[in-house]
C-alpha cells in the first residue's frame, strides 16, 4: 500500500486507545503516532510551552518520564493553549498522510487534525475503570499515587479537555464508538480492524 490511509483514534485517558492503536498499526503495517506524547513532551520541557512546541524534536519524545502522572497533567494544561496546538498541527497532519497508512491517537484527531480520515474511532470507558487502569500502570512504574487521587486527576483532565475553547475532546460525528468498560481490548481491536478492512475494501473497489 503506497497511498495515504489515515485511521484517527480519539478518546479520554486510559480508555485503551493507545493499546488499540498500536495493535491496529501492527496488524496493517501502518505507522503509529501517539499524539499525546507530543503534548507530554512539551509539558515536560517546561519554560514557555509555545516555544517548546515550536522547537520540539524527535529525541524529546524518547524521554523516559513522559508516562508519569505529572507529565499527563502538564500535557493537559499545555494542550489547552491554542498556539501550542497550532505549532503541533502541521507535524501531525504530515504524519497522517504519509504513504503506506498511519494511525494517530489523541483527543482531536478525527475532529480537527484529520477530519477527512478514512476511519475514525472513539474509544471510551467509565471513569472508575479508566482510573483503575491508570493507577495500576502508575503503580507498576513505581508511582505511589493513590487510586482516589488518580480518579480526581483523571476527571479534572477530562473536564479541561472537553471544555477547552480550542479543539475540545469529543467524538467525530462519523466515528465508531468503542466502549471498553466491559469490552475486552482484544474485542475492541477486532471491531476496529473490521472497520478498517471494510474501508480498505471500498477503496480497492
Please determine, for residue 91, whether its predicted confidence score (pLDDT) is greater than 90: no
Average of pLDDT values for 175-181?
97
Q: Which candidate, 62, 63, 45, 67, places its Cα nearest to that of 54?
A: 45
Residue 3 pLDDT level (bands cut at 50, 70, 90):
confident
> What does the pLDDT read at residue 202?
82
> What does the pLDDT read at residue 83?
94
Average of pLDDT values for 161-175?
94
β-strand partners of 7: 103, 119
Q: Which residues are annotated as a binding site for ATP?
A: 11-19
With helix as H, strand as E and coil as C, how does the chain read?
Answer: CCCCCEEEEECCCCCCHHHHHHHHHHHHCCEEEEHHHHHHHHHHHCCCHHHHHHCCCHHHHHCCCCCCHHHHHHHHHHHCCHHHHHHHHHHHHHHHCCCCCEEEEECCHHHHHCCCCCEEEEEECCHHHHHHHHHHHHHHCCCCCCHHHHHHHHHHHHHHHHHCCCCCCCCCCCCEEEECCCCCHHHHHHHHHHHHHHHHHHHHC
Q: Which candidate, 6, 5, 9, places its Cα nearest to that of 169?
A: 9
Residue 141 pLDDT level (bands cut at 50, 70, 90):
confident
Please determine, for residue 101, whether its predicted confidence score (pLDDT) is greater than 50: yes
Average of pLDDT values for 63-74?
89
> What does the pLDDT read at residue 37?
93
Q: Which residues are annotated as a binding site?
A: 11-19
> What does the pLDDT read at residue 127?
97
- Nine-digit cell string for 8: 484517527
Stated length of the chain: 205
Residue 203 pLDDT level (bands cut at 50, 70, 90):
low
Average of pLDDT values for 177-182?
96
pLDDT in tens, 20-67: 999 999 999 999 999 999 999 999 999 999 999 999 988 898 899 998
Percent of the chain clearing pLDDT 90 (strictly above): 81
Q: Chain-wide mean pLDDT for the chain?
A: 93
pTM, two decimals, is 0.88
> What does the pLDDT read at residue 18?
95
Under CATH, which number does the domain 6-186 receive?
Answer: 3.40.50.300
Please determine, for residue 10, whether its predicted confidence score (pLDDT) is greater than 70: yes
pLDDT in tens, 111-130: 999 999 999 999 999 999 99
CB neighbourhood size of 149 (10 A): 14
Amino acid at each position: 500500500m503506497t497511498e495515504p490511509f489515515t485511521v484517527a483514534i480519539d478518546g479520554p485517558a486510559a480508555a485503551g486507545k493507545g493499546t488499540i492503536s498500536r495493535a491496529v498499526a501492527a496488524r496493517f503495517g501502518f505507522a503509529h503516532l501517539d499524539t499525546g506524547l507530543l503534548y507530554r513532551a512539551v509539558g515536560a520541557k517546561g519554560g514557555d510551552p509555545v516555544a517548546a512546541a515550536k522547537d520540539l524534536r524527535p529525541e524529546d519524545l524518547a524521554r523516559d518520564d513522559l508516562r508519569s502522572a505529572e507529565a499527563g497533567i502538564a500535557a493537559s494544561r499545555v494542550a489547552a493553549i491554542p498556539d501550542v496546538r497550532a505549532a503541533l498541527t502541521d507535524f501531525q497532519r504530515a504524519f497522517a498522510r504519509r504513504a503506506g497508512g498511519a494511525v494517530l491517537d489523541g483527543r482531536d484527531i478525527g475532529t480537527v487534525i484529520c477530519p477527512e480520515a478514512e476511519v475514525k474511532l472513539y474509544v471510551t470507558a467509565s471513569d472508575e475503570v479508566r482510573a483503575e487502569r491508570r493507577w495500576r500502570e502508575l503503580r507498576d512504574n513505581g508511582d505511589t499515587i493513590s487510586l482516589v487521587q488518580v480518579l480526581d486527576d483523571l476527571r479534572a483532565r477530562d473536564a479541561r479537555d472537553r471544555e477547552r475553547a480550542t479543539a475540545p475532546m469529543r467524538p467525530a460525528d462519523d466515528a465508531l464508538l468503542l466502549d471498553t468498560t466491559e469490552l475486552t481490548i482484544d474485542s475492541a481491536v477486532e471491531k476496529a480492524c473490521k472497520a478498517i478492512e471494510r474501508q480498505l475494501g471500498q477503496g480497492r473497489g
